[in-house]
Amino acid sequence: MATMKAVRLHGYGPPEALVYEDAPEPEVRAGEVRVRVRAAGVNPFDTKVRAGHMKDFFPVSFPTVLGADFAGEIDVLGPGVTAFAVGDAVYGSAAMGRGSYAQLAVALAATIARMPRTLDFVHAAAVPTGAVTALQALFDGDKGGLVAGQTALIHGLSGSVGRFALQLAKKAGARVLGTASAKARDDLLRLGADEVIDHRTTRFEDVAREVDLVLDTQGGDTQERSWGVLKKGGVLIALTSFPSQETAKKHGVRALYFSSEKTTARLADVAARIDEGSLGLSPVEVLPLAEAARAHALLQGGQAKAKLVLSVGG
């Protein structure tokens, strides 16, 4: 059996539970492609799956290969795939259990697109989840439905989702407030933020009033304090925990939790925006695939100073 290098999880646990080892090359089924991974993005969701926090929603069979975001070249086409060709440079979302923390990953053809022409593999791998989450959360009609003239409050404005959401909302003509650290303020103002609220020194509810949309990337106390800043008929979109429908009803607002759905159309939209220069990327820190456990520890401990990407050789 042919093997590859991969980072696998043999049971839920701390970052050290991730093992860099030889693993069987994944098989390709109908509607799928196999990709020679050049770089893999590391997301908070990955750390939650590893720790077992998502097992009731996304159960996995061990050993499993983690990782969703990737950029690479198509290696094998599964039966029925006609929109792509072997050798195409693509980016997108890998299949659960046959993920991107490996030299070879598998993805549904419906969850990939051609890479932005202006990006290398490392920077392309940093894009899918953050950009598609922001795009879908803000503009899908059954979610944010944001339009020109409205006001959005984005928590975690300097993070991957936050930075993409800021740029997309401003391009759409919205007013954008956001919470972040003081050191990120100048950069975020340069990206177009109307107001950056230092979460260490200022309570955001003392600044934000009557907003149309709250994008909550934090959960917990931040989510609870966000109800009061929404105007009647506004919406709270949560990315980390399920918001209370009872509380939403009491405040006369909508509230929902969602996990982004990366599709070819959405990824192609993001790629076009990047290539035309209207959507910039977050800073990136690159680690080798063998140091995936370290990447998880940095992300989980809040010590990552940039978007973490694993470089995959071979």
DSSP assignment of 204-220, as one string? GGGT--SEEEEEESS-H
Looking at the chain, the whole-number percentage of residues with pLDDT higher than 90 is 89
Distance CA(118)–CA(264), nearest Å, equals 18
Which residues are CB-contacts of 310 (< 8 A; sequence separation ≥ 6)? 7, 39, 40, 41, 42, 67, 101, 125, 286, 287, 288, 289, 291, 292, 295
pLDDT at 314 over 70: no
Contact 50, 17 (CB under 8 A): yes
Predicted TM-score of the model (pTM)? 0.94
pLDDT in tens, 4-16: 999 999 999 999 9
What mean pLDDT is reported for the chain?
A: 95
The pLDDT tens digits for 250-285 are 999 999 998 889 999 999 999 999 999 999 998 899
pLDDT attached to residue 118: 98
Euclidean distance between the first and final Cα of the chain, in Å?
Answer: 17
pLDDT at 244 over 90: yes
Q: What is the largest CA-CA distance in the chain?
A: 61
Q: What is the mean pLDDT of residues 6-33?
A: 97
Domains of the chain: 3-127+281-311 (3.90.180.10), 130-257 (3.90.180.10)
